[in-house]
Structure 1
Amino acid sequence: MKGRDVPPGRVYGFLLVPGFALMSYASAIEPLRAANVIAGQQLYVWRHLSCDASGVARASNGISIACDADLRDANAVRAMRLDTLIVCAGGNPVTFDDVSVLRTLRRAARAGIRIGGVSGGPFLLARAGLLDGYRSTIHWEHQPALSEHFPELAMTGSLYEIDRERLTCAGGIAALDMMAAEIDAHHGPELAGAVSEWFIQGGARPGSGPQRSHNRADAPAPGRPVAAALALMSAHLENPLSITSLARRAGIGQRQLERRFMKEIGIGVMTHYRILRLERARALLRQTRMQVVEIALACGFSSASQFSRACKAHFGHAPVTLRKIHYETG
């Protein structure tokens, strides 16, 4: 397979933040190995970096990976001659506050190294100020917290985004798709397609694809009025719209919208709306240090007490208990 007149041996660094998601990391690095095997030459080289001098990084499932260097060791990192540095994080990236690591990421970007993040990794990039002015995405679980902390960012909610020298990915198997796009850009669609087949993929998905579906896997996509109402709900979680406003903006009568929701989603309009707001609230409880009353207002509840009653009714626990359970079992 012929490349596109680019030198072999592009070097990818993987910064493994403690508690990183192993699936996301593996989905990002394995396509590079497969590309080398299929092409019969070393097109890609990879290095592992830790956030400290321990020499190892432990994934969320307890597996440890030996690292080549501490990211903060400027001489060691410089010797690697990285082309791209990808931050792999999981768990609760909101709690990551190692200023020396963030400073080093900014220094790497200034040196011309492409910077990426998978799963919770984009949160660290945002905290380092490296996503300002770039189109980006993050795993749906971390998106509410990211939006609260950095509302000015151009977050898309897609599978992955490659915008100039920034790469962000929702994580999981979406990293396979992003790396296939990288291989395509470097060495053409034939090699990228062969790598996708290597991993039993029918084909790489476009980065613009959605991370989640509102319906069951075997259910048809919602019709245009329901899809429009769902989009409106997602865009107005802090200041919920009335069912009358939803129906009018979706171009359908209120009763018709209710009937369509029952048929296509399986529950009523406002019931589904409340569930969306509660799911966002639960994500904020898990992924931020915001006060309960702040979360209540951010998710369209008029008071902490109203929010607490809704949580108990839907999740079986008050907000404080939900947060405590997450940190005790996470």
Structure 2
Amino acid sequence: MTLRDKSLPAGDKDGEGRPAHVGFLLIPDFALLAYASAVEPLRAANRLSGRDLYHWSHVSIDGGPATASNGVSIRADHAVGTETRLDYVIVCAGGNPAIFQHPQTFAWLRHLARHRVRLGGVSGGPYILARANVLDGYRFTIHWEHAPAFLEDYPDLDLRRSLYEIDRDRLTSSGGTAPLDMMHAVIAREHGSELALAVSEWFLQTHVREGAGPQRMPLRERLGISHAPLLRVVGRMEQSLENPISREELARTANVSLRQLERLFRHHLGRSLGEHYLGLRLDRARDLLRQTSLSVLETALACGFASASHFSRGYRRRFGHPPRAEREKPVR
């Protein structure tokens, strides 16, 4: 296992012999799996080493219990802004972090950054860090579901489509189980690869993933097909939603006639080329409507539609309601 970045400061190198204190900032609707994948390796490191290497506490925006997206609540030890010594603060967020509004949280994160507390985020947590203006000049990652909306809001930040990133005093993970791999890197850097490997083995990780690894399954597995030319076409579609590629160009990508390409879509995916491409664009539009403040027209243009009316008709046919109604629906 190769560490992503050797510059992450070690947790217990200050000569005080104390455990590193990790604060988990739990944003309402945070992703429980991503949080658990970040905190459990710390518990395992303590148990397997027989020492208190890490101490952790929970922070909520008001000091009350924080509720995850699945309804589970975790009691908070502190409220945002409470004076306590922290070595790390890891922001756990899910749901729709783009609409999170809490100036005290953003101010507290900036305060921590000025005092050189190591800041992290898992799943949607990096969105909160960006809103606090503490990611400028750092490379980082975020869950793929949040990436399109994030790029609309922060096109100039150094977003990577990786499993995790550790860049100096910032550590971010795309969520899901990827924090297990990120915390493996942290533990290895601070306490050695032997302990890190023991922690990973304890959690039945038969393979520790590199930070630069992909977030999503290969298209072959996601679609359940193995036809290479068709996979090339779908891959180009997914990468060109704002400026759709012509049907003729897609056929040239597969090196087949347009008629043959249509037959391939029908045979392998059960829908026409146009239906598949339209579905991809509408799915992206739904993500943008849920996670950004873009207008319906701006969303339509960002997903390759020439007019809001054309977009709205297609949206209603696919999802059963107009685009404007999407923002009225709760996201879980």
What's the TM-score once normalised by structure 2's chain length?
Answer: 0.85
TM-superposed CA distance for 1:211, in Å, is 2.3
5+ unaligned residues in a row in structure 2: which ranges?
Answer: 1-9
Alignment partner, residue 48 of structure 2 = 38
Which sections of structure 1, spanning at least 5 residues, go unmatched?
none
The answer for the alignment partner of 1:207 in structure 2 is 211
The answer to whether residue 76 in structure 2 is matched with residue 67 in structure 1 is yes
Does the residue aligned with 2:297 lie in a helix, a strand or coil?
Answer: helix
- Distance change >3 Å, CA 180–CA 259, structure 1 → 2: farther
CA apart distance, 1:5: 11
Deviation by residue 1:100-147 (Cα, 9 ceiling, x = unmatched): 211211121121111111111111111112222222221222222111
Q: Quote the residue 2:247 is aligned against.
A: 243
Pairing 1:216-231 to 2, within 5 Å after superposition: 216=221, 219=224, 223=228, 225-231=229-235
Q: What does residue range 258-273 of structure 1 map to in structure 2 within 5 Å?
A: 267-273=271-277
Which of 197, 203, 225 in structure 1 is aligned with 2:201? 197
Inter-CA distance 243–169: structure 2 relative to 1 (3 Å threshold): same
- Residue 57 (structure 1) aligns with: 66
State the alpha-carbon separation in 1 of the partners of residues 276 and 302 from structure 2: 17
What is residue 4 of structure 2 aligned with on the other side?
none
Root-mean-square deviation (CA, aligned residues, Å) is 2.6
**What is the CA–CA distance in structure 2 between the aligned matches of 1:167 and 1:202, rounded to whole Å?**
23
Q: Could you say which residue in structure 2 is the equivalent of 1:320?
A: 324
Q: Is the 8 A contact 1:285 1:323 kept in 2?
A: yes
Is 1:48 the counterpart of 2:35 in the alignment? no
C-alpha separation between the residues in 2 aligned to 1:220 and 1:236?
21
Paired residues of 1:193 and 1:203 also in contact (CA < 8 A) = no
Q: 2:121 aligns with which of 100, 117, 120?
A: 117
Query: Distance between the aligned counterparts of 2:294 and 2:31, measured in 1?
Result: 24
Question: Structure 1 residue 273: deviation in Å?
Answer: 2.4
Larger RCO (alpha carbons 8 Å, 6+ apart): 2
Report the Cα offset of residue 36 of structure 1.
1.0
Aligned partners of 1:134 and 1:254: how far apart in 2?
Answer: 45
Answering whether residue 255 of structure 2 is matched by residue 252 of structure 1, we say yes
Q: Partners of 1:130 and 1:230 in 2: how far apart?
A: 36
Secondary structure of the structure 2 residue equivalent to 1:32: helix
Aligned residue in 2 for 1:165: 169
Distance 1:207 1:279 in 2: 27
Larger deviation, residues 109-118 vs 271-280? 271-280
Deviation at 1:23, TM superposition (A): 1.5
> Aligned pair 1:27/2:37, yes or no?
yes
Alpha carbons of structure 1 residues 163 and 221: separation in structure 2 relative to 1, 3 Å: farther
What is the aligned partner in structure 2 of residue 276 from structure 1?
A: 280
Identity fraction in percent: 51
Measure how far apart 1:313 and its partner are: 2.4
Instruction: Kindly indicate whether the alpha-carbon contact (under 8 Å) linking 1:243 and 1:254 is maintained by their aligned counterparts in 2.
Output: no
Partner secondary structure for residue 116 of structure 1: strand
Shift of 1:322: 3.3
Partner SS, residue 37 of structure 1: helix
| Structure 2 counterparts to residues 67-86 of structure 1, below 5 A | 67-73=76-82, 76-77=83-84, 80=85, 82-86=86-90
In structure 2, C-alpha distance between the alignment counterparts of 1:35 and 1:44, rounded to whole Å: 8
Does the C-alpha gap of structure 1 residues 271 and 181 become closer, same or farther in structure 2, counting only changes over 3 Å?
A: farther
Q: Which amino acid aligns with 2:155?
A: P
Query: Within 2, Cα distance between the matches of 1:191 and 1:219?
Result: 38
- TM-score normalized by the length of structure 1: 0.86
1:299 CA displacement = 0.6
